[in-house]
Homo-oligomer: A and B are copies of this chain.
Amino acid sequence: MEKILKKSIRIYNTLSKDEKKFLIENSKILCFKKGHLVHKGDETCLGLIAVNKGSLKAFISSDSGKQITLYKLYEGDICLFTAACKMKNIHFDINLICEEDCEILLLPVDLYEEIFKNSKKISNYINEIVMARFSDVMWILEQTVFHSLDKRLANYLLNLNKKDIEITHQKIADELGSAREVISRLLKHFENDNILKLNRNKITIINNNALLEIAEK
């Protein structure tokens, strides 16, 4: 357990003996299959989650099923909003789903609250994580409000850092908070301009510079 805590709580080594003991005694390991919804809006309130293996996606969804990805969590990342019920002033609901098979460290919600209130180091650490997530969401807001979709799509494709991208149009639409048809149209438009080539569930970038130009316009 201590090995996992060291890996997922970056400040673990700086904690006091008592704080370490508290975490070791109270943390649990959970395993989930790919596709498992670990946290659903306000229906679950697990506690603090740290990723030991696999990856998860945090997203919000509308009544009509539209989704927008907020951020992704990989090994060593922490998710706080699965403890939202114990966090003052949090009035939004996120969902958290396993993108691969996952092994997760969980500090149950009441214990999370206890150590958060009593340890200045942990409180400051949590604060830093909140700021990072806040920055992620501000970036998405800016992208959504200020940048046109073609620019966002170009940025998205470039950030994947691959020539051959295996992905469905639906997946891209979900990530960018758009509709599949809109993304397909835009991709087709890029293909017509010889920027990329579309195959079934695969996108091949053939003119990286042109894509960069759109991303930076």
Give residues in A with beta carbon < 8 Å to B: 60, 62-64, 66, 68, 87-92, 117, 120, 123-124, 126-135, 137-142, 144-147, 177
CB <8 Å contact, B146 and A90: no
Q: Which of A64, A120, A140 has the most CB of B within 10 A?
A: A120
Copies assembled: 2
**A94 shortest CB reach to chain B, Å:** 8
CB <8 Å contact, A124 and B131: no
In the complex, the chain B residue whose C-beta lies closest to that of A88 is B128
Cα(A120)–Cα(B66), bound, Å: 40
CB <8 Å contact, A92 and B130: no
Cα(A129)–Cα(B89), bound, Å: 8
In the complex, the chain B residue whose C-beta lies closest to that of A135 is B91
Q: Which of B123, B130, B133, B142 contacts A60 (CB 8 A)?
A: B142
**A76 shortest CB reach to chain B, Å:** 15
CB <8 Å contact, B89 and A131: yes
CB <8 Å contact, A87 and B137: no
When distances are taken between beta carbons in the complex, the residues of chain B under 8 Å from A60 are 138, 141-142
**A112 shortest CB reach to chain B, Å:** 13
Cα(A142)–Cα(B95), bound, Å: 14
CB <8 Å contact, A138 and B137: yes
CB <8 Å contact, A117 and B124: yes
**A179 shortest CB reach to chain B, Å:** 11
Given contacts A132-B89, A146-B66, A177-B145, contact A127 B137 (CB under 8 A): no
